[in-house]
Amino acid sequence: MSQHTTTAAPPHEHPPHLRHHFETLTQQFDAGKLGIWLFLATEILLFGGLFCAYAIYRANHPEIFLYAHQFLDKTLGATNTVILLCSSLTMAWAVRASQLGQRKLLVALLAATLAGGGGFMCIKYVEYKAKFAHGLLPGTHFHPHEEGEEHAATAAAPPVAKPAPPVSGPALEVSRIPAAAAGPAGTVPNREPGESEGLGKRPSNAQIFFGIYFLMTGLHGIHVLVGMFAIGWILIRSARGDFGPGYFTPVDFVGLYWHLVDLIWIFLFPLLYLVK
Amino acid sequence: MDTVEGARIGRPAAPPARDNYLTHSAGFGSWAFTLDHKRIGVMYLVATLSSFLLGGLAALAVRTELLTPGRTIMDADTYNKMFTLHGAVMVFLFIIPGIPAALGNFVLPLMLGAKDVAFPRLNLMSFWLWILGACFAVGAVIAGGVDTGWTFYTPYSTTTNTNVIATIFGVFILGFSSIFTGLNFIVTIHKLRPVGMTWFKMPLLLWALYSTALIQVLATPVLGITLLLLIAERALGVGIFDPALGGDPVLYQHFFWFYSHPAVYIMILPAMGVISEVISIHARKHIFGYRFIGLSSVAIAAFGFLVWGHHMFVSGQSGMANVIFSALTFSVAIPSAIKVFNWLATLYKGNIQLNTAMCYGLMFLITFTIGGLTGLHLGSLATDVHLTDTYFVVAHFHYVMFGGAVVAFLAGLHHWWPKMTGRMFDERLGRVGAALVFVGFNTTFFTQFMLGSHGMPRRYYDYLPKFQIYHVISSIGSYVMAAGFFLTAYYLLHSLFRGRPAPMNPWGGNSLEWHTPSPPPHDNFAETPLAEDPYDYTHLVYDSATGGYLSKSYHEAEA
Amino acid sequence: MTQHASDHGTSHGEGIHPAVGHVVPLPTLFAVLGALLALTVVTVGASYFNFGRFGVWIALAIAVVKASLVVLVFMHLKYDKPFNAIIFIVSLALVALFISIALTDTRQYEPNTIPGYAPSIKTNPS
């Protein structure tokens, strides 16, 4: 099966790692790069929707953000930022190491990156645990209280209106949301604002901040976990000696994904933690 | 050059003896784990056509229910679930994947003279994701259905006790299938073009698929986040969209339509690409205005991102937004009109062959134009206030989605059927089927323009008696259409077993897929072909011995 | 670009070049990390001052600078084919389009839609 080639590679030589539908390594590499950048574009648009929700609620209800962000710990957030930035360095360095055939260094750097991801998730776990303990949960579960208190005075659940009318036929899902049956424009009245631990008067609908917080950091955290799996897989393959100057694209592409995860956090940190 | 052993026109013959992509390997595993884009295309074709059957049966059920006011065959809740099923299946399982995945996967690498798409494993993953998403969506239907309409507007979708999460999770997965297909096509067209095929020497189907792929990659993630937010709203009560929890329901519509408007261009752009190919080849005439058609595809993709608010004119969005979106909507009609004029110019003084594919191509010009023009009624604020959420809207989008995308899908299916299967189908039955579809379609949906302008709202189970005559006519039309489709299915399936073996180039096209046998071998081409002008037919002559077209020099040598 | 078919696992930095792609110098990588950490300190420090309406824009501006460093150097975009950068910019532009339209629209209708819903926005008389 002869092929027309237009680059310097001699036609009969078939470099290893060249898939049969590509003609040269350069073409394959460029195609892969283009592909991964297109995938990163989809991730940007995915998170873009969340940033849009953030922008709208912050612009239209700034009182919610000014109040609720005080519950976040700036130090933990900044630590997480530093961890991710350093892990970005170790990842970029790891790509360089794979390009230069420095196998032991590559393995060490990937392990360091993985550790960085692990550290990030540990801090996230600590933060989430504190939120749960204080009842700072999204949506209908929001009832801020001191740790240990089960039913604080301010933990008034929204007035439950009539349940949604049943739809005929079998149904597996039942909605947890009270049907809009009372109040102006068909909504239930806003949650009663209340006091909270010296942080100022709680505005109505404060739970929206935590909805956005958990969605944004949660989706980001899922991406960190996926990235950690990918890095772990690359780590195993590096230890086996799969990568070198002739073939390093998986390291490169996983690296690009990891940098994107870092990029998103670079924006999440000031927007959520440094609101004032 | 290929000749078919022992076959004459009109007499069914034994299948071609040589090895091709269908016979290359056998067994379930060789299909389920294939990396061959042609096999993946065929699997998508079976999958999407099955979805079309499911969605079509739901449509027939809806039309039957609407024969009389009040209850005809089902109660109101079931009716809501039925039209939701129809919409969701047709949009997400059939039309959006349809032409790109089923026809595009097969034809795109062949048109590029390539061995495969850029990322064959990603291509297979796209298909598996489609299957997974379909399982969730259909499973949700079997387990009791969804009654929100395919648009899942809040707050009803957050409060209804039907299987919303299961359905939209399925749609979320289908979105990734779409994204990966688009990603693959963009990279393939950028990187795997052959020597000599510059951007302006590509067949126009590739411009169309490229523009579609751009939308798939850029718009679908926003649907992804919308659905995730909706799931979070239902499962956790997050409160971004539901006013009972402090949310904003119009914001949901912004999120939803930011994807779903570009999505309709995902549906129509590949269709327009198919029409460019079919009209030119079956009129035996070079396409008119190549650059205009190609660049207008990209223009439609770009403009399509700017007009989503025209679905929300009466939703409560601000007056300023209404005016901006209405003005931009008028602009997006222009590139589509440019295409229609160029196709008409291609037909003018052409040598029109009324093959089935061309019948559907001509049908497209009529029905798509009607659909597009009625979009202008809906894009003008003053008329939209009366027509929105009436049957006028239903008729409009069926004229563009069905009369546009589905008709073009049928044109493409018939056009590339010989290449994909190696068989010719019965042209007479093909034309009868096309006629039934045309008559049935217009009967069904033209009456709905009248219904809508007289005030019949959409998605309504019950209606005033004065509308009944229109509904009855519309439903009869749908049965005629269904007859046309069943006939089409019959003769196409029949051709698989008894059809005349297809020559390499039955219609006389010059794009590269016609330079390889029907069906193609596993590796597509014995030798990578040289790119020529895909619309130059001057050197092709019909050869009655093979029933196809041959290059003039070869034909003279044989004579 | 030189073509070396396979890797022998050596660590001689000078003689080995990858078959494709560009290698970022090590000092560059460290310099970028230094800048990123410094900017993080700046952004945290800035949060202790009250800039009023401009606070969020200052924070975003610093974030954009940090992001640019990551994208251009760590992610190689400075050394890559320009089309990859175009993809990146286009996706950002679309996000910006979506946010700006949704934001201007919601600011206009939200005060009127549900009374008392957006107390910080002055309600339009209509």
Contact A26 C17 (CB under 8 A): no
pLDDT given for residue A203 in this prediction: 78
Highest mean pLDDT among A92-106, A129-143, A188-202, B18-32: A92-106
Q: Given this model, what pLDDT does residue A4 score?
A: 41
Q: Is residue B208 pLDDT above 50, yes or no?
A: yes
Q: Which amino acid is at C46?
A: A
Window from A260-274, B273-287, B528-542 with minimum mean pLDDT: B528-542
Residues B323-370: tens digit of each pLDDT: 999 999 999 999 999 999 999 999 999 999 999 999 999 999 999 999
pLDDT score recorded for residue A148: 52
In the structure, what pLDDT confidence band is assigned to residue A194 with cuts at 50, 70 and 90? Answer: low
Per-residue pLDDT tens for A179-192? Answer: 554 444 444 555 55
Residue A166's pLDDT band (boundaries 50, 70, 90)?
Answer: low
Q: How far is CA B320 from CA B3, B317, B325, C106, C114, in A?
A: 65, 8, 9, 11, 19
Average pLDDT of every residue of chain C? 82
Query: Which residues from C are below 8 Å from A74, CB to CB?
Result: 44, 47
* B167: pLDDT strictly greater than 90: yes
In Å, the largest CA–CA distance within chain C is 76
Whole-number pLDDT of residue A69: 84
Q: Across all residues in chain A, what is the average pLDDT? A: 82
Residue A46 in contact with partner chain B when CB distance is under 8 A:
yes
What are the sequence ranges of the domains in chain C?
25-78, 81-126
Domain limits, chain A: 25-143+193-273
Whether the pLDDT of residue A11 is over 80: the answer is no
Confidence class for position A275, pLDDT limits 50, 70, 90: confident
pLDDT on residue B173: 97
> Which of C44, C66, C83 shows the shortest C-beta gap to A74?
C44
More confident residue, A131 or B468: B468
pLDDT bucket at B17, cuts 50 / 70 / 90: low
**Nearest Cβ partner for C91 among B218, B255, B321:** B218
Structural domains in chain B, CATH included, are 28-558 (1.20.210.10)
Element (H, E) at B551: strand B548-551
Nearest Cα neighbor of A13 from A23, B116, C16 is A23
Nearest-CA distance B317 → chain C (Å)? 6
Residue B511 has pLDDT above 90, yes or no: yes
Tell me the three state secondary structure of residue B520.
coil
- Taking an 8 Å cut-off on Cβ atoms, the answer to whether A243 and C3 are in contact is no
pLDDT at A200: 74
Q: Which whole number is the average pLDDT over B173-191?
A: 96
Residue C70's nearest CA partner among C36, C44, C41 is: C36
- Structure confidence at residue B542 (pLDDT): 92
Q: How far apart are CA B43 and CA B41, in angstroms?
A: 5
State whether residue B163 sits within 8 Å of chain A by CB: yes
pLDDT of residue B166: 92
Tokens of B79: 């009716």
**In the predicted model, what is the mean pLDDT of residues A41-49?**
96
Task: Report the run of H or E that residue A129 belongs to, with start and end.
Answer: helix A103-133
CATH class belonging to A25-143+193-273? mainly alpha
Average pLDDT in chain B: 92
Average pLDDT for A222-244? 95
Q: Is a pLDDT exceeding 50 seen at residue B98?
A: yes
Nearest to A96 among C23, C80, C106 (CB): C23
For C36, which of A78, A85, A184 is closest by C-beta distance?
A85
Whether residue B484 is predicted with pLDDT greater than 50 in this model: the reply is: yes
Q: What percent of chain A has pLDDT over 70?
A: 76
Among C109, C110, C124, the strongest candidate for a mutation testing the B interface, having the largest count of B CBs within 10 A, is: C109
Chain C contact partners (≥3 CB pairs within 8 A): A, B
Mean pLDDT of A29-33: 93
Query: Residue by residue, what is the 3-state secondary structure of B97-129?
Result: HHHHHHHHHHHHHHHCCCCCCCCHHHHHHHHHH
Angle, CA B504 vertex, CA B500 and CA B509 arms, to 5°: 115
Q: What's the rounded mean pLDDT across residues B38-55?
A: 97
pLDDT in tens, B381-395: 999 999 999 999 999
Summarize pLDDT for C36-69 with one digit per residue, the tens: 999 999 999 998 888 888 888 999 999 999 999 9
Minimal Cα distance from C106: which residue of A? A56
Distance of CA B66 to the CA centre of its chain: 27
- Identify the pLDDT of residue A195: 64
The residue ranking higher by pLDDT, A177 or B316, is B316
Residues in B closer than 8 angstroms to A182, CB to CB, are: none
B279 Cβ under 8 Å from any chain A Cβ: no
Whether the per-residue pLDDT at A8 is higher than 80: the answer is no
3-state secondary structure string across A59-118: HHCHHHHHHHHHHCCHHHHHHHHHHHHHHHHHHHHHHHHHHHCCHHHHHHHHHHHHHHHH
% pLDDT > 70, chain B: 96
B143-160: pLDDT as tens digits: 888 999 999 998 889 888
